[in-house]
Amino acid sequence: MITPDLFLQVANPQGDPSLVVFVIGTVVKMVAIFTIYMVGVAYTTFAERRVSAWIQDRHGPNRVGPQGILQVAADGIKNIMKEETYPNFASKAIFILAPGLVFVPAMITWAVIPFGSPLPTPWGRIDLVVADLPVGFLFTLAISSIGVYGIVLAGWSSNNKYALLGGLRASAQMVSYEIAMGMSTVCVLLLAGNVSLNQVVAQQSQMGWNAFLLTVAAFVFLISAFAETNRVPFDLPEAESELIAGYHTEYSAMKFSMFPIAEYANMITASALMATLFFGGWDIPFTQWDNAGPWTVLKSVLTFGAFASKVLFFIFFYIWIRWTLPRFRYDQLMSLGWKLLLPMTLIYVVIVATAVLALDMAGVTRGPLFGGALFAINVVLMGVILFILDRGRLISPAHSRLDASGVDQLRSVSRDRIKLARKGT
């Protein structure tokens, strides 16, 4: 039997846990994070229904439990109890496997995201991250890209033309925006000098949030995250008015539920990545107290609260956008990804790399002055993008190809037709 005294004996004096403590601590973190994550995913669906009701001036779910908080449990039980159906000509093995291929990558991605400062224990220091991989950021990009296989296989194995079209749309969309998302994060790695997410958080605690130092990259990452999670205004793979329900048209019961669960799980993961890469992660703003030892339980609790607050903000932002903006057309979607975001990120990487190299050669240390210079560069670039280059002309063919004189000519033709119609009557 393993006792706390045994832990104390095998812990080394540097504060790092022993192998036994490390393994048990990792298992505890896995169970805790999985539980919190799944409960969070379930209640994100409830939050979306309540926020949408608030936006549309109605009540939303409020019958099951106090203020409707048990509606999630009722929906889960209903889906578990429902009968599952299978299409006659579906590829059954792949049809059953596809929901798992969508769901599992959304869960694994959380393994490398730090959610608080190290927790001191009598048996050693426990890092509040399930797996502090030295290539943590590359791990998130690699694992998150696997989800597209589940979506494509779900559409193909259903032997349904609407599901197949939804799967093809999803694959094209996710591959297109993965490139822009990956390129936008290259700038983060240039500043951090490391692909460890803990190092990214540490860099922001010294220089300031990357949302201000790399504003263009944060802007591109946010847009790409909406496209990667198939959320409005990029929900083309699930366009109900065109494709019934998209790639999961033929699914029912709990297998169907795994697709929206994976969508909300990806939404939470994208929110956590946005908070970590561009908004300081678990770092508490306007203070250095939480960035260095000695580590305490109070620091761990407060930093976890700061991280959770940032993630919840972006979840609300996802929901808010869904009930505010209309859907893009498919040509607009692809044009935005390939003709605008990709060239913009390539040019931006060159600009940031040049600026970082120039500041390093000038002897500017990584601190407030370094961050201030990058902030000034990004203010200029965002001004150029929003007020000079944009003006409704970048998302082709979303804009009108007519100039002001052409619009006036069409209006005059319309007025003449109205006059002729009135004379005829």
Among 112-121, 301-310, 351-360, the least confident range: 112-121
More confident residue, 377 or 339: 377
Confidence bin at 240 (pLDDT 50/70/90) = low
| pTM of structure | 0.84
Q: Across residues 378-389, what is the average pLDDT? A: 85
DSSP code for 17: P
pLDDT at 399: 53
| pLDDT band at residue 311 under the 50/70/90 scheme | very high
Percent of the chain scoring above 90 in pLDDT: 38
> How far is 112 from 136, CA to CA, in rounded Å?
5
Question: Which is more confident, 326 or 220?
Answer: 220
Whole-angstrom distance, CA of residue 425 vs CA of residue 420? 9
Residue 98 has pLDDT above 80, yes or no: yes
Cis peptide, bond prior to residue 61, ω within 30 of zero = no
Higher pLDDT, 364 or 5: 364
- Predicted confidence at residue 238, as pLDDT, reads 65
pLDDT at residue 398 is higher than 70 = no
pLDDT above 50 (res 263): yes
Q: What is the pLDDT of residue 115?
A: 92
Q: Which of 156-160, 217-221, 335-339 has the highest mean pLDDT?
A: 217-221
Is the confidence at residue 239, as pLDDT, over 70?
Answer: no
Selected residue with higher pLDDT from 14 and 79 = 79
State the pLDDT at residue 44: 94
Is the per-residue pLDDT at 397 higher than 70? no
Identify the pLDDT of residue 287.
86
Query: Hey, where are the domains in the chain?
Result: 84-416
SS3 of the chain: helix, strand, coil, percent, to 5:
70, 0, 30
State the Cα–Cα distance between residues 71 and 78, nearest whole angstrom: 10
pLDDT greater than 80 at residue 68: yes
Give the DSSP per-residue string, 276-308. Answer: HHHS-TTPPTT-STTSSSSP-HHHHHHHHHHHH
Q: List C-alpha distances in Å: 223 to 97, 131, 169, 171, 217.
A: 30, 28, 17, 17, 10
Cα 140 from chain centroid (whole Å): 11
**Cα–Cα distance for residue pair 83/185, rounded to 1 Å:** 44
The percentage of residues in the chain with a pLDDT greater than 70, rounded to a whole number, is: 90
According to the model, what pLDDT value does residue 9 have? 36
Under a CB-based contact definition with an 8 Å cutoff, are residues 78 and 301 in contact? Answer: no
Q: Are 377 and 356 in contact (CB under 8 A)?
A: no
Q: Is 320 left (phi over 0), alpha (psi -120 to 50) or beta?
A: alpha
Beta-strand relationship, 124-126 and 119-121: antiparallel
Indicate if the pLDDT at residue 70 is higher than 90: yes
d(CA 7, CA 5): 5
Ramachandran sector of residue 68 (left: φ over 0; alpha: ψ -120 to 50; beta: rest): left
The answer on pLDDT for 400 being more than 60 is no
pLDDT of residue 13: 38
The chain-wide mean pLDDT, for the chain, equals: 85
Q: Could you report the per-residue pLDDT of 19-57, keeping only the tens digit for each?
A: 888 888 889 999 998 899 889 999 999 999 999 999 888
Does the pLDDT at position 223 exceed 80? yes
pLDDT at 73: 92
Q: What is the pLDDT of residues 285-302, one digit of tens each?
A: 888 888 877 888 999 999
Per-range mean pLDDT, top range of 3-7, 103-107, 109-113, 344-348: 344-348
Residue 305: band (very low, low, confident or very high) from pLDDT cuts 50, 70, 90? very high
Cα–Cα distance, 55 to 334 (Å, whole number): 30
Do residues 375 and 210 touch, judged by C-beta distance below 8 A? no
Position 5 confidence tier, pLDDT thresholds 50, 70, 90? very low
Q: What's the pLDDT score for residue 314?
A: 96
